[in-house]
Structure 1
């Protein structure tokens, strides 16, 4: 099988608004009214529907909508050996909410029976001949939330230093990548919003208060990611996505990419970078100058927001693409929404139809900009 031409000129980050049937089934399962197998059956039915809708809108690769998970990141991390999950109350996103967090409580490793592997196989079967894009949380979601900012970890550290953590964490992701590859996955995306904490002043202050240097962590994050990608299959597309938080139409981080751009964009193991550019918090395209000129890596411009219902002006999007093309050649650019439509099961504050209107807009603009937009 030839390597996919991904990221595609018009692409998606991954998640979709959960249908009511998913919410109902999860509630019934939590109440003990249906079995885990019955929940899976409902998930498969709804995943099949969302796949057909993605095909109808013309996507070259489809996702499961992240229907099989509650959180975009935690369900993935909770499946690792060495990760502990706990509940906590936060107002970080501007709304008070009980959420879940993680911390490292023993050496980290990949569980070959991770439920996401079975979920991928089920989705692949439902998708038929259409490639399936698998999304998972990136390694530094562990570094930041489960170690650096974790009071539980600080009280009972597992590793002598971050170098020790790096080797186990990287090996965990190497094993995960190989497991997905063996399951048939050829398009994998590492979602890693943790990078945003390294340029957001409020988060940098918290990092310092926890005894770490945010500037040093930029290299730590880069080193962990590069080691995690070592030995990656050549015919597998691996991308990364980072936004500045996306929870019920609220955001978490602010600041430009300049602080992290040289290190993040210098990671050659990625085939593409999905970056948020849907409002003024993203800053200019100037940091994209750090993308190495001697690679064919692509930057996917997240110019269409998933946080609000208003449909963007196609001409305004084209103008922004032209602006970005002054920094990065047009042939190395793509277009997508800035994030998914439902990073958590609650979803963003938009109607279901809006997500399809947004994706049709992304496709129409892409087809008007790139001659090869319809090439899979």
Structure 2
């Protein structure tokens, strides 16, 4: 397997060991951007698409710089141009329509789209977002993109015989978009499939979708898969067969109770370990995060560990989200120093399956 990680190793990195640090994707939007969206949707307001583009550019620049200040190795713009991980893409894919919000849990509502015609690729989804973020960033940029299985599973299907065929058609569209992103210079793609762990019996469908997606992606492009929530034991070790370089997993929120799942069979890919909790509005101390990072060495050695939050941070206050990222990076650098000094026993507990 091609090493896609080394290209993100900074030339001036202070330590011999290197723990890649990054984010999952979403981030709290500035309040003025939410107000700008309201103005855009207000027919009586003199606020047009050009104004909206300027506002989203400003927000993207602001959050990109905020991510960079934490010292992270790979950043993104916090998905400032996106409203929701399915709704955003459904608006851009031909064949979808919206019929109103539905209640999903508690007092939360989701503008769940319906597939009313066979899906087709329309306008580009993320190329402009990537190109702008890349132009204002001094660090490599990751591109999160919602995966086809989640796009299918979180939609009403009114056309296809089954959800599986819808997911495969959507996978072809995701493949087309990623081809365009790669042509634009993207080197780190993260496919988000939160629906996988909640419907694990369909893991073979997700694998077939990923085969379609990465079919023609160059070997030097890093592909990660983000899976949150759920019972990982129902998809592991089968998920190791997926054609991705890295698995980004939410384990901190569950106090790492599922960590043992990944030591029963050798973890053969890179692990992006969630080391701060995206659901708790308190900044974890550096020492606590360091302890979480070291837990990852029970699954993979340092050269295959990525350090990240559990999930997107959009539900947290910005100052809390920033504090989590800043402490996360400091913790990673301190763990690197201790690895260099031989003060940490990696203790890789990953026996082979035989």
TM-score range, shorter chain: 0.7 to 0.9
Q: Does 1:138 align with 2:147?
A: yes
Say how many residue pairs are matched. 325
The CA deviation at 1:140 is 0.8
Match of 2:74 among 54, 61, 72: 61
CA contact (8 A) 1:272 1:298 kept: yes
Question: Any gaps of 5 or more consecutive residues in structure 1?
Answer: 200-214, 245-254, 343-347
Q: Does 1:273 align with 2:247?
A: yes
Q: 1:292 to 1:362 in 2, by over 3 A?
A: same
**Partner in structure 2 of residue 285 of structure 1:** 259
Q: Does 1:73 align with 2:92?
A: no
Match of 2:281 among 290, 293, 309: 309
**Partner in structure 2 of residue 190 of structure 1:** 191
The CA deviation at 1:178 is 0.3
Task: Using the TM superposition, name which of 160-169 and 116-125 deviates more.
Answer: 160-169
SS at match of 2:21: coil
SS at match of 2:322: helix
Alignment of 1:128-277 (within 5 A): 129-146=138-155, 150=156, 153=157, 156-158=158-160, 160-161=161-162, 164-198=165-199, 215=201, 217-244=202-229, 255-267=230-242, 269-277=243-251
Question: Any gaps of 5 or more consecutive residues in structure 2?
Answer: 10-18, 340-354
Q: Does 1:331 align with 2:303?
A: yes
Counterparts of 2:152 and 2:52 in 1: how far apart (Å)? 32
Counterparts of 2:120 and 2:265 in 1: how far apart (Å)? 32
**Partner in structure 1 of residue 121 of structure 2:** 110
Q: Does 1:101 align with 2:112?
A: yes
The CA deviation at 1:166 is 4.9
Q: Does 1:353 align with 2:311?
A: no
Q: 1:194 to 1:35 in 2, by over 3 A?
A: same
The CA deviation at 1:91 is 4.4
SS at match of 2:116: strand
Match of 1:123 among 133, 154, 160: 133
CA contact (8 A) 1:66 1:72 kept: no
Counterparts of 1:276 and 1:299 in 2: how far apart (Å)? 11
Q: TM-score, normalised by structure 1?
A: 0.78
Q: Deviations over 1:259-302 (max 9, x none)?
A: 012232321x2221111112237632122247765x5x311111
Counterparts of 1:78 and 1:334 in 2: how far apart (Å)? 32
Q: Deviations over 1:142-173 (max 9, x none)?
A: 23222xxx3xx2xx432x45564454233212
Task: Using the TM superposition, name which of 4-13 and 58-67 deviates more.
Answer: 4-13
The CA deviation at 1:84 is 2.6
Match of 1:20 among 18, 24, 31: 31
CA contact (8 A) 1:265 1:291 kept: no
Q: 1:281 to 1:257 in 2, by over 3 A?
A: farther
Q: 1:326 to 1:354 in 2, by over 3 A?
A: same
Counterparts of 2:57 and 2:285 in 1: how far apart (Å)? 36
Match of 1:46 among 59, 73, 79: 59
Counterparts of 2:118 and 2:165 in 1: how far apart (Å)? 10
Q: Deviations over 1:69-121 (max 9, x none)?
A: 111332023312222333233142xx32332112322222322x224222222
CA contact (8 A) 2:102 2:112 kept: no
Q: 1:89 to 1:168 in 2, by over 3 A?
A: closer
